[in-house]
Protein backbone atom coordinates (compact mmCIF):
# COMPACT_ATOMS: atom_id res chain seq x y z
CA UNK A 1 0.00 0.00 0.00
CA UNK A 2 1.10 3.55 -0.61
CA UNK A 3 2.90 5.25 2.29
CA UNK A 4 0.51 8.18 2.41
CA UNK A 5 -2.58 5.95 2.65
CA UNK A 6 -0.96 3.96 5.44
CA UNK A 7 0.05 7.14 7.26
CA UNK A 8 -3.48 8.51 7.08
CA UNK A 9 -4.89 5.25 8.41
CA UNK A 10 -2.54 5.42 11.42
CA UNK A 11 -3.49 9.06 11.97
CA UNK A 12 -7.19 8.23 11.84
CA UNK A 13 -6.66 5.45 14.36
CA UNK A 14 -4.76 7.79 16.68
CA UNK A 15 -7.36 10.54 16.46
CA UNK A 16 -10.16 8.09 17.19
CA UNK A 17 -8.45 7.00 20.41
CA UNK A 18 -9.88 9.53 22.89
CA UNK A 19 -8.07 8.04 25.87
CA UNK A 20 -4.75 8.07 24.08
CA UNK A 21 -5.21 11.67 23.01
CA UNK A 22 -6.06 12.67 26.54
CA UNK A 23 -2.93 10.90 27.81
CA UNK A 24 -0.71 12.67 25.27
CA UNK A 25 -2.22 16.06 25.96
CA UNK A 26 -1.83 15.90 29.70
CA UNK A 27 1.70 14.46 29.52
CA UNK A 28 2.92 17.01 26.96
CA UNK A 29 1.35 19.92 28.83
CA UNK A 30 3.22 18.72 31.90
CA UNK A 31 6.57 18.43 30.10
CA UNK A 32 6.16 21.86 28.52
CA UNK A 33 5.45 23.53 31.86
CA UNK A 34 8.30 21.75 33.59
CA UNK A 35 10.76 22.62 30.86
CA UNK A 36 9.68 26.26 30.87
CA UNK A 37 10.27 26.40 34.63
CA UNK A 38 13.83 25.16 34.09
CA UNK A 39 14.68 27.98 31.70
CA UNK A 40 13.45 31.15 33.36
CA UNK A 41 16.12 33.25 31.66
CA UNK A 42 15.85 33.33 27.87
CA UNK A 43 19.25 34.99 27.51
CA UNK A 44 20.97 32.36 29.60
CA UNK A 45 19.30 29.61 27.56
CA UNK A 46 20.52 31.21 24.33
CA UNK A 47 24.11 31.19 25.57
CA UNK A 48 23.90 27.59 26.74
CA UNK A 49 22.29 26.54 23.48
CA UNK A 50 25.01 28.25 21.47
CA UNK A 51 27.64 26.35 23.46
CA UNK A 52 25.86 23.04 23.06
CA UNK A 53 25.44 23.60 19.34
CA UNK A 54 29.13 24.40 19.03
CA UNK A 55 30.06 21.22 20.89
CA UNK A 56 27.86 19.09 18.64
CA UNK A 57 28.84 20.97 15.49
CA UNK A 58 32.56 20.58 16.22
CA UNK A 59 32.13 16.89 16.89
CA UNK A 60 30.32 16.38 13.59
CA UNK A 61 32.82 18.42 11.62
CA UNK A 62 35.61 16.17 12.90
CA UNK A 63 33.51 13.01 12.97
CA UNK A 64 35.86 10.57 11.17
CA UNK A 65 38.88 11.66 13.24
CA UNK A 66 36.99 11.59 16.49
CA UNK A 67 35.60 8.13 15.81
CA UNK A 68 39.10 6.83 15.25
CA UNK A 69 40.30 8.48 18.43
CA UNK A 70 37.30 7.09 20.30
CA UNK A 71 38.07 3.60 19.09
CA UNK A 72 41.73 3.83 20.11
CA UNK A 73 40.97 5.13 23.57
CA UNK A 74 38.17 2.66 24.22
CA UNK A 75 40.36 -0.24 23.14
CA UNK A 76 43.14 1.06 25.36
CA UNK A 77 40.69 1.07 28.25
CA UNK A 78 39.74 -2.51 27.49
CA UNK A 79 36.41 -1.82 25.77
CA UNK A 80 36.14 -3.68 22.47
CA UNK A 81 34.82 -1.65 19.54
CA UNK A 82 32.79 -3.04 16.63
CA UNK A 83 31.48 -1.25 13.57
CA UNK A 84 28.13 -1.95 11.96
CA UNK A 85 27.01 -0.48 8.68
CA UNK A 86 23.46 -1.83 8.75
CA UNK A 87 20.90 -2.99 11.33
CA UNK A 88 21.52 -6.60 10.24
CA UNK A 89 25.25 -6.28 10.92
CA UNK A 90 24.61 -4.78 14.34
CA UNK A 91 22.09 -7.47 15.28
CA UNK A 92 24.42 -10.25 14.18
CA UNK A 93 27.30 -8.72 16.09
CA UNK A 94 25.24 -8.65 19.28
CA UNK A 95 24.15 -12.23 18.74
CA UNK A 96 27.74 -13.29 18.11
CA UNK A 97 28.98 -11.60 21.27
CA UNK A 98 26.23 -13.20 23.34
CA UNK A 99 26.85 -16.64 21.88
CA UNK A 100 30.61 -16.36 22.48
CA UNK A 101 29.84 -16.00 26.19
CA UNK A 102 27.09 -18.60 26.19
CA UNK A 103 24.65 -15.90 27.27
CA UNK A 104 20.92 -16.54 26.87
CA UNK A 105 19.26 -14.15 29.31
CA UNK A 106 19.61 -10.49 28.40
CA UNK A 107 18.50 -7.35 30.23
CA UNK A 108 18.31 -4.09 28.35
CA UNK A 109 18.46 -0.47 29.39
CA UNK A 110 16.52 1.99 27.29
CA UNK A 111 18.05 2.42 23.86
CA UNK A 112 16.40 3.94 20.81
CA UNK A 113 19.15 2.61 18.58
CA UNK A 114 18.18 -0.95 19.48
CA UNK A 115 14.59 -0.02 18.55
CA UNK A 116 15.94 1.33 15.29
CA UNK A 117 17.60 -1.99 14.42
CA UNK A 118 14.83 -4.20 15.86
CA UNK A 119 17.25 -5.95 18.19
CA UNK A 120 14.67 -7.43 20.54
CA UNK A 121 12.86 -9.11 17.70
CA UNK A 122 16.12 -10.47 16.28
CA UNK A 123 17.30 -11.85 19.61
CA UNK A 124 13.96 -13.38 20.52
CA UNK A 125 13.77 -15.08 17.14
CA UNK A 126 17.15 -16.59 17.87
CA UNK A 127 16.12 -18.01 21.20
CA UNK A 128 17.36 -15.37 23.63
CA UNK A 129 15.27 -14.10 26.52
CA UNK A 130 15.27 -10.30 26.35
CA UNK A 131 13.87 -8.15 29.10
CA UNK A 132 13.47 -4.40 28.94
CA UNK A 133 14.46 -2.99 32.31
CA UNK A 134 13.41 0.64 31.89
CA UNK A 135 9.95 0.76 33.46
CA UNK A 136 8.35 2.42 30.45
CA UNK A 137 10.03 0.01 28.04
CA UNK A 138 9.06 -2.92 30.27
CA UNK A 139 5.43 -1.82 30.12
CA UNK A 140 5.32 -1.59 26.35
CA UNK A 141 7.21 -4.85 26.05
CA UNK A 142 4.41 -6.43 28.09
CA UNK A 143 1.89 -4.76 25.79
CA UNK A 144 3.76 -5.90 22.69
CA UNK A 145 4.01 -2.35 21.42
CA UNK A 146 6.66 0.04 20.18
CA UNK A 147 7.64 3.18 22.10
CA UNK A 148 5.37 6.14 21.42
CA UNK A 149 8.02 8.63 22.55
CA UNK A 150 11.82 8.51 22.58
CA UNK A 151 12.20 9.53 26.23
CA UNK A 152 8.99 8.27 27.80
CA UNK A 153 8.14 5.20 25.73
CA UNK A 154 4.88 4.32 27.52
CA UNK A 155 3.55 7.88 27.71
CA UNK A 156 0.44 6.81 25.79
CA UNK A 157 -0.64 4.54 28.63
CA UNK A 158 -2.30 5.72 31.79
CA UNK A 159 -2.00 4.09 35.21
CA UNK A 160 -5.10 1.92 34.79
CA UNK A 161 -3.80 0.43 31.57
CA UNK A 162 -0.39 -0.13 33.18
CA UNK A 163 -1.93 -1.81 36.22
CA UNK A 164 -3.85 -4.17 33.95
CA UNK A 165 -0.70 -5.09 32.01
CA UNK A 166 1.31 -5.81 35.15
CA UNK A 167 -1.54 -7.85 36.60
CA UNK A 168 -1.77 -9.89 33.44
CA UNK A 169 1.99 -10.52 33.53
CA UNK A 170 1.94 -11.59 37.18
CA UNK A 171 -1.47 -12.23 38.79
CA UNK A 172 0.14 -11.70 42.20
CA UNK A 173 0.44 -8.00 41.35
CA UNK A 174 -2.80 -6.40 42.50
CA UNK A 175 -4.89 -4.26 40.17
CA UNK A 176 -4.27 -0.94 41.82
CA UNK A 177 -4.14 2.76 40.98
CA UNK A 178 -1.30 3.25 43.41
CA UNK A 179 1.66 4.22 41.22
CA UNK A 180 4.20 3.71 44.01
CA UNK A 181 2.90 0.23 44.61
CA UNK A 182 3.06 -0.63 40.91
CA UNK A 183 6.60 0.70 40.70
CA UNK A 184 7.63 -1.41 43.67
CA UNK A 185 6.15 -4.52 42.07
CA UNK A 186 7.93 -3.85 38.79
CA UNK A 187 11.14 -3.22 40.69
CA UNK A 188 10.83 -6.57 42.46
CA UNK A 189 10.42 -8.40 39.15
CA UNK A 190 13.30 -6.52 37.53
CA UNK A 191 15.69 -7.06 40.46
CA UNK A 192 15.40 -10.81 40.06
CA UNK A 193 16.05 -10.51 36.35
CA UNK A 194 19.15 -8.36 36.85
CA UNK A 195 20.63 -11.00 39.13
CA UNK A 196 19.94 -13.81 36.67
CA UNK A 197 21.02 -12.00 33.51
CA UNK A 198 24.02 -13.17 31.48
CA UNK A 199 24.38 -9.92 29.63
CA UNK A 200 23.26 -6.29 29.76
CA UNK A 201 22.62 -4.13 26.71
CA UNK A 202 22.50 -0.34 26.85
CA UNK A 203 22.58 2.72 24.65
CA UNK A 204 24.98 5.63 24.97
CA UNK A 205 24.22 9.33 25.33
CA UNK A 206 27.72 10.70 24.76
CA UNK A 207 30.85 8.81 23.70
CA UNK A 208 33.92 10.85 24.67
CA UNK A 209 36.74 10.49 22.15
CA UNK A 210 39.44 12.08 24.30
CA UNK A 211 39.08 9.65 27.18
CA UNK A 212 37.20 6.68 25.73
CA UNK A 213 34.28 7.12 28.10
CA UNK A 214 30.68 6.06 27.49
CA UNK A 215 28.15 8.32 29.23
CA UNK A 216 24.67 7.09 30.02
CA UNK A 217 21.89 9.31 31.34
CA UNK A 218 18.97 7.70 33.16
CA UNK A 219 16.54 8.04 36.04
CA UNK A 220 15.71 4.60 37.32
CA UNK A 221 19.09 3.03 38.02
CA UNK A 222 18.23 0.24 35.62
CA UNK A 223 20.90 1.54 33.28
CA UNK A 224 23.49 1.19 35.99
CA UNK A 225 22.24 -2.31 36.82
CA UNK A 226 22.37 -3.38 33.16
CA UNK A 227 25.88 -2.07 32.74
CA UNK A 228 27.38 -3.36 36.00
CA UNK A 229 25.62 -6.50 37.22
CA UNK A 230 25.76 -8.97 34.31
CA UNK A 231 29.22 -10.26 33.34
CA UNK A 232 28.87 -8.92 29.79
CA UNK A 233 27.91 -5.39 28.79
CA UNK A 234 27.19 -4.49 25.18
CA UNK A 235 26.61 -0.82 24.40
CA UNK A 236 25.13 0.19 21.05
CA UNK A 237 25.02 3.67 19.63
CA UNK A 238 24.94 5.70 16.45
CA UNK A 239 28.25 7.08 15.20
CA UNK A 240 27.01 10.64 15.69
CA UNK A 241 26.98 10.38 19.49
CA UNK A 242 30.70 11.06 19.78
CA UNK A 243 31.95 14.24 21.46
CA UNK A 244 35.48 15.53 21.45
CA UNK A 245 36.37 16.12 25.08
CA UNK A 246 35.16 15.22 28.54
CA UNK A 247 34.73 18.95 29.22
CA UNK A 248 32.17 19.06 26.39
CA UNK A 249 29.83 16.78 28.28
CA UNK A 250 28.59 19.27 30.92
CA UNK A 251 27.46 21.67 28.18
CA UNK A 252 25.17 18.98 26.82
CA UNK A 253 24.23 17.39 30.11
CA UNK A 254 22.93 20.59 31.64
CA UNK A 255 20.51 20.98 28.74
CA UNK A 256 19.47 17.37 28.14
CA UNK A 257 17.33 16.55 31.20
CA UNK A 258 15.96 20.07 31.51
CA UNK A 259 14.83 19.99 27.89
CA UNK A 260 13.57 16.43 28.08
CA UNK A 261 11.57 16.09 31.28
CA UNK A 262 12.14 19.43 32.97
CA UNK A 263 14.48 17.89 35.52
CA UNK A 264 17.54 19.88 36.59
CA UNK A 265 19.55 16.67 36.48
CA UNK A 266 18.76 12.98 36.14
CA UNK A 267 18.94 10.63 39.09
CA UNK A 268 21.79 8.67 37.50
CA UNK A 269 24.64 9.64 35.27
CA UNK A 270 26.92 6.73 34.38
CA UNK A 271 30.43 7.11 32.99
CA UNK A 272 31.69 3.78 31.74
CA UNK A 273 35.40 3.73 31.07
CA UNK A 274 36.48 0.09 31.36
CA UNK A 275 35.44 -3.43 32.25
CA UNK A 276 36.11 -4.69 35.78
CA UNK A 277 39.79 -4.42 36.57
CA UNK A 278 41.71 -6.82 38.75
CA UNK A 279 40.91 -6.15 42.38
CA UNK A 280 37.65 -4.30 41.60
CA UNK A 281 34.58 -5.75 43.29
CA UNK A 282 31.99 -5.16 40.64
CA UNK A 283 31.41 -4.33 37.03
CA UNK A 284 31.18 -6.53 33.93
CA UNK A 285 34.08 -8.74 32.90
CA UNK A 286 33.87 -7.52 29.33
CA UNK A 287 32.44 -4.41 27.69
CA UNK A 288 31.77 -3.95 23.98
CA UNK A 289 30.64 -0.94 21.98
CA UNK A 290 28.88 -1.32 18.65
CA UNK A 291 29.00 1.82 16.51
CA UNK A 292 26.12 1.88 14.04
CA UNK A 293 26.03 3.85 10.82
CA UNK A 294 22.65 2.93 9.31
CA UNK A 295 22.47 5.90 6.95
CA UNK A 296 24.24 8.42 9.18
CA UNK A 297 27.29 8.81 6.94
CA UNK A 298 25.03 9.78 4.08
CA UNK A 299 23.25 12.36 6.24
CA UNK A 300 26.63 13.61 7.39
CA UNK A 301 27.75 14.26 3.81
CA UNK A 302 25.26 17.10 3.27
CA UNK A 303 26.12 20.21 5.24
CA UNK A 304 22.56 21.33 5.84
CA UNK A 305 21.17 17.90 6.66
CA UNK A 306 24.20 17.15 8.84
CA UNK A 307 22.55 19.29 11.51
CA UNK A 308 20.07 16.43 11.97
CA UNK A 309 22.91 14.53 13.63
CA UNK A 310 23.40 17.22 16.29
CA UNK A 311 20.38 15.72 18.05
CA UNK A 312 20.91 14.57 21.65
CA UNK A 313 17.53 12.79 21.77
CA UNK A 314 15.96 14.92 24.51
CA UNK A 315 12.52 14.82 22.89
CA UNK A 316 11.78 18.51 23.54
CA UNK A 317 10.76 18.96 19.89
CA UNK A 318 8.31 16.09 20.27
CA UNK A 319 6.89 17.45 23.54
CA UNK A 320 6.23 20.83 21.96
CA UNK A 321 4.92 19.60 18.61
CA UNK A 322 1.22 20.50 18.11
CA UNK A 323 0.84 17.58 15.71
CA UNK A 324 2.44 14.99 17.99
CA UNK A 325 0.20 16.06 20.87
CA UNK A 326 -2.82 15.17 18.72
CA UNK A 327 -1.69 11.89 17.19
CA UNK A 328 1.08 10.55 19.44
CA UNK A 329 4.12 8.56 18.41
CA UNK A 330 2.60 5.42 16.89
CA UNK A 331 0.90 7.40 14.13
CA UNK A 332 4.28 8.16 12.62
CA UNK A 333 4.99 4.45 12.27
CA UNK A 334 8.73 5.00 12.66
CA UNK A 335 11.27 4.61 15.46
CA UNK A 336 11.64 8.35 15.93
CA UNK A 337 8.37 10.33 15.91
CA UNK A 338 7.63 14.05 16.00
CA UNK A 339 9.70 16.77 14.34
CA UNK A 340 13.04 15.00 14.64
CA UNK A 341 11.38 11.92 13.16
CA UNK A 342 9.99 13.95 10.24
CA UNK A 343 13.55 15.02 9.45
CA UNK A 344 15.57 11.95 10.36
CA UNK A 345 13.39 9.08 9.17
CA UNK A 346 12.93 10.15 5.53
CA UNK A 347 16.71 10.56 5.35
CA UNK A 348 17.43 7.28 7.10
CA UNK A 349 14.83 5.16 5.33
CA UNK A 350 14.35 7.11 2.10
CA UNK A 351 11.70 9.52 0.87
CA UNK A 352 10.22 6.72 -1.23
CA UNK A 353 9.59 4.82 2.02
CA UNK A 354 8.46 7.46 4.51
CA UNK A 355 8.89 10.94 2.99
CA UNK A 356 5.22 11.62 3.67
CA UNK A 357 6.04 12.16 7.36
CA UNK A 358 7.19 15.67 6.46
CA UNK A 359 3.59 16.54 5.56
CA UNK A 360 2.59 16.17 9.23
CA UNK A 361 3.90 19.60 10.16
CA UNK A 362 2.45 23.12 10.13
CA UNK A 363 5.95 24.66 10.18
CA UNK A 364 4.87 26.44 13.36
CA UNK A 365 8.45 26.54 14.61
CA UNK A 366 7.81 25.29 18.15
CA UNK A 367 10.35 22.48 17.71
CA UNK A 368 13.13 24.72 16.49
CA UNK A 369 12.44 27.13 19.34
CA UNK A 370 13.02 24.52 22.06
CA UNK A 371 15.78 22.41 20.50
CA UNK A 372 18.68 22.64 22.98
CA UNK A 373 21.29 22.15 20.26
CA UNK A 374 19.74 24.57 17.79
CA UNK A 375 18.73 22.18 15.01
CA UNK A 376 16.70 24.27 12.53
CA UNK A 377 13.98 21.60 12.39
CA UNK A 378 11.33 23.58 10.47
CA UNK A 379 13.89 24.52 7.85
CA UNK A 380 14.96 20.89 7.50
CA UNK A 381 11.36 19.67 7.26
CA UNK A 382 10.75 22.22 4.54
CA UNK A 383 13.88 21.01 2.74
CA UNK A 384 12.67 17.38 2.97
CA UNK A 385 9.45 18.49 1.29
CA UNK A 386 11.43 20.16 -1.46
CA UNK A 387 13.59 17.06 -1.94
CA UNK A 388 10.41 14.94 -2.01
CA UNK A 389 8.89 16.70 -4.99
CA UNK A 390 11.73 18.51 -6.74
CA UNK A 391 14.85 16.59 -5.73
CA UNK A 392 16.72 14.92 -8.55
CA UNK A 393 19.42 12.34 -8.97
CA UNK A 394 21.96 14.64 -7.31
CA UNK A 395 19.89 14.91 -4.12
CA UNK A 396 21.60 13.78 -0.92
CA UNK A 397 18.39 12.05 0.17
CA UNK A 398 17.46 8.61 -1.08
CA UNK A 399 14.20 8.47 -2.99
CA UNK A 400 14.24 12.19 -3.75
CA UNK A 401 11.53 13.27 -6.16
CA UNK A 402 9.47 10.13 -5.64
CA UNK A 403 6.59 12.02 -4.01
CA UNK A 404 6.12 14.22 -7.05
CA UNK A 405 2.61 13.64 -8.39
CA UNK A 406 1.63 14.92 -11.80
CA UNK A 407 -1.67 16.58 -10.89
CA UNK A 408 -0.22 18.36 -7.86
CA UNK A 409 2.83 19.53 -9.78
CA UNK A 410 0.57 20.82 -12.53
CA UNK A 411 -1.52 22.72 -10.00
CA UNK A 412 1.58 24.51 -8.70
CA UNK A 413 2.68 25.26 -12.26
CA UNK A 414 -0.72 26.81 -12.85
CA UNK A 415 -0.52 28.69 -9.58
CA UNK A 416 2.90 30.08 -10.52
CA UNK A 417 1.69 30.90 -14.02
CA UNK A 418 -1.01 33.13 -12.55
CA UNK A 419 0.91 34.65 -9.65
CA UNK A 420 3.97 35.45 -11.75
CA UNK A 421 1.78 37.41 -14.20
CA UNK A 422 0.28 40.35 -12.33
CA UNK A 423 -2.22 41.23 -15.04
CA UNK A 424 -3.46 37.67 -15.21
CA UNK A 425 -3.53 37.55 -11.40
CA UNK A 426 -5.65 40.70 -11.21
CA UNK A 427 -8.00 39.39 -13.86
CA UNK A 428 -8.34 35.99 -12.20
CA UNK A 429 -8.90 37.34 -8.71
CA UNK A 430 -11.43 39.85 -10.06
CA UNK A 431 -13.33 37.03 -11.74
CA UNK A 432 -13.22 34.93 -8.59
CA UNK A 433 -14.51 37.87 -6.54
CA UNK A 434 -17.37 38.37 -9.01
CA UNK A 435 -18.31 34.74 -8.63
CA UNK A 436 -17.82 34.66 -4.86
CA UNK A 437 -21.54 34.12 -4.39
CA UNK A 438 -21.28 30.91 -6.35
CA UNK A 439 -18.61 29.41 -4.10
CA UNK A 440 -19.95 26.13 -2.71
CA UNK A 441 -20.59 25.95 1.02
CA UNK A 442 -18.77 22.67 1.14
CA UNK A 443 -15.08 22.58 0.31
CA UNK A 444 -13.93 19.05 0.93
CA UNK A 445 -12.15 18.46 4.21
CA UNK A 446 -11.91 22.18 5.02
CA UNK A 447 -15.63 22.54 5.69
CA UNK A 448 -15.79 19.35 7.71
CA UNK A 449 -14.44 21.44 10.58
CA UNK A 450 -15.03 25.02 9.43
CA UNK A 451 -17.34 27.21 7.40
CA UNK A 452 -16.12 28.10 3.92
CA UNK A 453 -14.15 31.34 3.72
CA UNK A 454 -16.27 34.25 2.54
CA UNK A 455 -14.58 35.68 -0.52
CA UNK A 456 -14.69 39.43 -1.06
CA UNK A 457 -17.01 40.67 -3.79
CA UNK A 458 -14.30 43.09 -4.83
CA UNK A 459 -10.55 42.62 -4.30
CA UNK A 460 -8.23 45.00 -2.46
CA UNK A 461 -6.40 45.56 -5.76
CA UNK A 462 -9.62 46.85 -7.29
CA UNK A 463 -10.36 49.05 -4.30
CA UNK A 464 -6.83 50.48 -4.30
CA UNK A 465 -7.14 51.31 -7.98
CA UNK A 466 -10.51 52.99 -7.45
CA UNK A 467 -9.05 55.01 -4.59
CA UNK A 468 -6.24 56.22 -6.81
CA UNK A 469 -3.33 54.50 -5.06
CA UNK A 470 -0.14 54.73 -7.06
CA UNK A 471 2.71 52.35 -7.79
CA UNK A 472 5.45 54.80 -6.90
Partner 1 sequence: MNTPDSVYFYATCLVDLVYPQAGQAAMALIESAGIRVIYPADQTCCGQPAFNSGYRNEAREVVRRQLNCFARAIPIVVPSASCAGMIKHHWPELFAGEAEEDRVRGIAKRVYELTEFLVEVLHLELTDYGEPVRVVLHNSCSAHREMGVTRHIGQLLKQLTQVEVVEPVHATECCGFGGTFAVKQAEISGAMVEDKCRDIVDTGASRLLSQDCGCLMNIGGALDKSQAGVRAQHIAEFLRERSLEPER
Residues that bind partner 1 (CB under 8 A): 8, 11-12, 15, 21, 29, 322-323, 325-327, 359-366, 368-369, 379, 382, 385-390, 409, 412-413, 415-416, 418-422, 425-426, 429, 432-433, 444-456, 458-461, 463-465, 469-472
Comparing C-alpha atoms, which of 75, 91, 74, 194 is closest to residue 134? 194
C-beta closer to partner 1: residue 297 or 353: 353
Cβ atoms of residues 132 and 114 within 8 Å: no
CB of 414 to partner 1, least distance (A): 9
Neighbours of 46 (CB within 10 A): 12
CB of 376 to partner 1, least distance (A): 10
129 strand-pairing partners: 105
Q: Which residues contact 317 (CB under 8 A, 6 or more apart)?
A: 338, 339, 340, 366, 367, 368, 370, 371, 375, 377
Burial 426-452 (b: 16+ CB within 10 A, else e): eeebeeebeeeeeeeeeeeeeeeeeee
Neighbours of 9 (CB within 10 A): 13
C-beta closer to partner 1: residue 19 or 362: 362
Cβ atoms of residues 286 and 275 within 8 Å: yes
CB of 419 to partner 1, least distance (A): 4
- Measured N-to-C along each axis, helices 159-169 and 179-196 cross at an angle, to the nearest 10 degrees, of 40
CB of 51 to partner 1, least distance (A): 22
CB of 44 to partner 1, least distance (A): 18
C-beta closer to partner 1: residue 148 or 294: 148
C-beta closer to partner 1: residue 42 or 192: 42
Strands 199-202, 232-238: pairing is parallel
- Beta strands of 174-329 (E only): which ranges? 199-202, 206-208, 213-218, 232-238, 242-243, 268-272, 286-292
Cβ atoms of residues 17 and 330 within 8 Å: no
CB of 323 to partner 1, least distance (A): 6
CB of 143 to partner 1, least distance (A): 24
C-beta closer to partner 1: residue 21 or 105: 21
Cβ atoms of residues 197 and 229 within 8 Å: yes
d(CA 169, CA 147): 19
C-beta closer to partner 1: residue 61 or 465: 465
C-beta closer to partner 1: residue 274 or 455: 455
CB of 354 to partner 1, least distance (A): 15
C-beta closer to partner 1: residue 179 or 411: 411
Amino acid sequence: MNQSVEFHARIRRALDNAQGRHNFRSAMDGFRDKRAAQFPDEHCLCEQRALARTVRGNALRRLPDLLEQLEQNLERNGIRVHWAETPEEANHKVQELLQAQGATRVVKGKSMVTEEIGLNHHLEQNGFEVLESDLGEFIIQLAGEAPSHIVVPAVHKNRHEIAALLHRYDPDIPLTDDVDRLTQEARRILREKFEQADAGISGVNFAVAETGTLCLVENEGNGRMCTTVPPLHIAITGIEKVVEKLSDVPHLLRLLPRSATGQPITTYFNMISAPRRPGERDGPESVHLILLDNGRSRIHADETFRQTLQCIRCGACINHCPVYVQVGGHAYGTTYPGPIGCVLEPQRLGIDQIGTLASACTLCGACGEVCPVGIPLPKLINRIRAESVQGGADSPVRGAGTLRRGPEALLWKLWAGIHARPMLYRLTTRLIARMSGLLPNRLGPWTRYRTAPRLATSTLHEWAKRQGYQDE
